[in-house]
Amino acid sequence: MSAIDKWMETFSRLLARQSSRRSFLATAGAFIIGVGAAPLLPVARAHAGTGEEGDPTRCDYWRYCAIDGFLCTCCGGTTSSCPPGTVASSVTWVGTCRNPTDGKDYIISYNDCCGRSGCGRCTCQRDEGDRPLYRTDSANDINWCAGSSADIVYNCSTAVLMGVSTGD
């Protein structure tokens, strides 16, 4: 379930209240079910031979399960490269995401790209396994540009594949 779908859920609940309070919509329940069922992010296409499916410029792409930021794929970079003119952070947080193609769990390193203002495109907050700041290994709220030579100016986030997880 993507962040957008999840947020839509919040909206739907707010709607339900407004509806019942104001009696605006007689069929509020139907609306809510309808929204929940609406395929907001239906894209799923396989990359021939790569063992991956999905669109890396969309928030529902499998590697982004624990991300929070702007997707570098929309900013001049890729899932494993920073846009021109930026600097890659050297330390970062990691997440474990399941690749739907092979059903395996992979370790993903969400390195930030730094030294240019926030790209502002493809905002993506998924937060699966995200932990508060004192759990630095798993905290996506931290501006990880802190560890880069460009210092703390944040541009976008990558999702670099590190290897298969053997479980935790």
Which amino acids are annotated catalytic?
Answer: 93, 112
Q: 31, 56, 30, 34: which is closest to 45 by C-alpha? A: 56
Residues 61-80 that bind another protein (CB under 8 A): 68, 70, 74-80
Applying CB under 8 A, among 43, 44, 46, 162 the residue interacting with another protein is: 162
| Residue 88, H or E segment | strand 87-88
CB of 46 to another protein, least distance (A): 13
Contact characters 2-41, another protein, x per CB under 8 A: -xx-xxxxxxxxxx-xxx----xx-----xx-xx--x-x-
Please state, in angstroms and as integers, the Cα–Cα distance from residue 132 to each residue in 1, 21, 127, 161, following that order. 21, 37, 11, 23
Give the bridge partners for 113, in sequence order.
88, 156
Applying CB under 8 A, among 58, 64, 116, 157 the residue interacting with another protein is: 116
CB of 45 to another protein, least distance (A): 16
In angstroms, the CA 46 to CA 43 distance is 10
CB of 30 to another protein, least distance (A): 9
Contact characters 118-137, another protein, x per CB under 8 A: xxxxxx-xxxxxxxxxxxxx
Contact characters 82-111, another protein, x per CB under 8 A: xxxxxxx--x-xx----x--x-x-xx-x-x
Pair 139, 132: CB distance under 8 Å: yes
- In one-letter notation, the amino acid at residue 8 is M
